[in-house]
Amino acid sequence: METTATHTIDGKPVDGVEFFDVINPATASVFARAPDASRAQLDLAVRAARRAFESWRAVPAEERRKILFGFASAIRAQQQGLAQLLTREQGKPLAAAIREIDGTAARIEGLAKFELTPETLRSDERGRVVLDYQPLGVVGAIAPWNSPLLLGVQVAAQALVAGNSVILKPSPFTPLATLKLGEIAGKTLPRGLFNTLSGGNELGRWMTEHEGIDKIGFVGSVATGKKVLASAAASNLKRVSLELGGNDAAIVLADADVDAIAPQLFWSAFVNSGQRCMAVKRVLVHESLLDRLGAALSRLANQVKVGDGLEPGVELGPIQNRPQFERVLGLIEDAVRRGGRALAGGAALDRPGYFIAPTVITGVAEGTPLVDEEQFGPVLPLLAFSDVDAAVSRANATRFGLGASVWSANPQRAADIARRLEAGTVWINSHGGSVPEIPFGGFKESGVGRGLGLMGIKSYAEVRVLHLPL
C-alpha cells in the first residue's frame, strides 16, 4: 500500500500526523493512504502563503507569466505518472486522465496570458478617475473529486495570475494526484506560493473559517457551496467564488437529425460516467423523435466499454465513490418505481467496484428526483414535449442554471430559443466544454460569480477607485 503522499507547505514536503484511506473505485478496495492535515498544519500553510504573497504581488506580470508557464511545463513532464495516479483514485479511463493533465497545464498557460491593468474611467478638467485591481492575499482553493486536478488548478491559476498565493485542498476521495502536484509546485514556484493540504470536511471548514485566508474558490455541490458561503461570511466576510452543480437540459427540436446528434448527445451526458457539472442531465425531445432518439442513445449505451480505467479500450469508468454509487442507483430504482422504463442499463454491473451500466430512461416527468435533481452519474432521462414554449419553461423550471443546449437543423431558430434559457452557458448543437479565455459559471443555485477569462481573474482581486489630479 502506498503511504508516501505528503502535504506541501512553504515549498517543502510535510508528513501527515494522521492518515486516511484512499479507495480505488474500480475495485472498491483501499490502495493508498493520504495525510490528514491538522489545524496547526493549516496555520503553517497560511503563514507561508502570506509571506509568499507579499513578494509575489510585487512580481511584474511578465515575470509571473514565465514562472507559471514553467509550472505548466513541469506538470506536462510528469503527465504519465500523474495520469496513472489520477485513474487509480478517480476511476476515469487513462486516456481521459492524460487529457485532464494536459488540460490542467493548458489552463495555467491560458490564464497566465491575461494581465490586470488599470482602467481609466474619466479624464477631463475635473481630473482622472482610474480603476485598478489589487490582489486579495491568501486564497483557499477547494476542489471536487470528478476532475480534481483541472478544477483545483483552475481556481489556483486565477488566484496566482491576480497576484495571490494559494492553499489547495483536494477532495478526500481524490487527494493523491493533487498532492503530487504540490510536490511539483514546491520545486518550480516561489517558496510558499502554492501549498497543498489534504483532509476531510473538517479541513474545509477550518479553511472557510480561517481569518488568515482572504478568499475561497470552491467547485462542488450546491449543498456544500451553501455551507462554504455561510462559513466564509461568518468569519472575516471573506470573498467567495462558487462553481456549483447543474441540471443541464438539452432541447431537441423536431427538425434535428437524430443519427447525427445522438453520439454528441450521448458523450455530452456520459463523459466521465456522467460525473461532470456541465453534463447533459435531461433531454427534452420533441415527441416525434422520442422513440428514434431513445433507440439511438440506447445502442450507444450498450456498445460502450465500461471497466477499470487502466484496462485497454475502456471508455467509461466507475462512479468515483460508494455514497454517490448508492445515490445514483437509488435515483434509477425510484424512477422505475414511478413508471420509468430503462431502454438501456438500469442496474449495477456484476463485478467489483462502483460500476453502473450506462442507463437511458423514458416514461419519467418533472416531480421525479431523477429529473429534478442533479444525478451526477451515467443515467439520462428523456422527456417528450409537443410545444417549444412549454419545453423552454420546463427547462427553466429548476433551481439550477449552469448550462443548456438547443439541437436543431436550423441554427438561427435554435439561437432564438437559446436566448430564452436561464443558464450561464448555452450551446447550439453541442454541449459542454470550457476554455481559459471564456468565462464560465451559473445562474441561480449553480454558482456565485464567474470563473475563467479576464472576468474570472478579476474576481480574485479587489477593485480600487483612484481619484487623481489631471
pLDDT one-digit tens code per residue, 248-299: 999 999 999 999 999 999 999 999 999 999 999 999 999 999 999 999 999 9
Give the pLDDT mean for 124-128.
91
- Reply yes or no on whether 277 is catalytic: yes
Enumerate long-range contacts of 432-435, CB under 8 Å, 24 or more apart. 432/268, 432/271, 432/276, 432/278, 432/279, 432/280, 432/403, 433/278, 434/278, 435/110
pLDDT over 70 at 1, yes or no: no
Q: Is residue 448 domain-resident?
A: yes
Measured between its terminal Cα atoms, the distance across the chain in Å is 67
Q: Is residue 388 domain-resident?
A: yes
Same domain? 229 vs 252: no
Dihedral (CA of 177, 182, 188, 194) sign: positive
- Helices 79-90 and 148-161 cross at an angle (nearest 10°) of 120
Per the prediction, the chain carries an average pLDDT of 97
Paired sense of beta strands 119-124 and 29-36, if any: unpaired
Same domain? 345 vs 301: yes
pLDDT over 90 at 2, yes or no: no
Give the pLDDT mean for 96-112.
98
Query: What is the pLDDT at residue 3?
Result: 59
- Residue 295, classed as helix, strand or coil, is helix
Tell me how far CA of residue 391 lies from CA of 259, 363, 384, 450, in angstroms.
22, 16, 9, 27
Same domain? 259 vs 330: yes
pLDDT in tens, 338-383: 999 999 999 999 999 999 999 999 999 999 999 999 999 999 999 9
Q: Is residue 232 domain-resident?
A: yes
pLDDT in tens, 404-425: 999 999 999 999 999 999 999 9
Q: Is residue 436 domain-resident?
A: no
Share of the chain above pLDDT 70, in %: 99
Residue 235 — very low, low, confident or very high, per pLDDT cuts 50/70/90? Answer: confident
Which residue carries 467547485 as its cell?
Answer: 219
Nearest CA to 384 out of 285, 462, 465 is that of: 285
Query: Range of 290's domain?
Result: 248-428
Same domain? 200 vs 66: yes
Same domain? 72 vs 134: yes
Which of 89, 100, 183, 277 is the catalytic position?
277
Same domain? 209 vs 272: no
Which of 243, 315, 374, 445 is the catalytic position?
243
pLDDT over 80 at 217, yes or no: yes
Question: Considering just the CA atoms, what is the radius of gyration of the chain in Å?
Answer: 23
* CATH code: domain of residue 27: 3.40.605.10
Are 320 and 146 contacting, i.e. CB atoms less than 8 angstroms apart? Answer: yes
Number of domains in the chain: 2
* CATH code: domain of residue 258: 3.40.309.10
pLDDT in tens, 140-167: 999 999 999 999 999 999 999 999 999 9
- Residue 414, classed as helix, strand or coil, is helix
Q: Give dist(CA 388, CA 410) in Å, integer.
A: 14
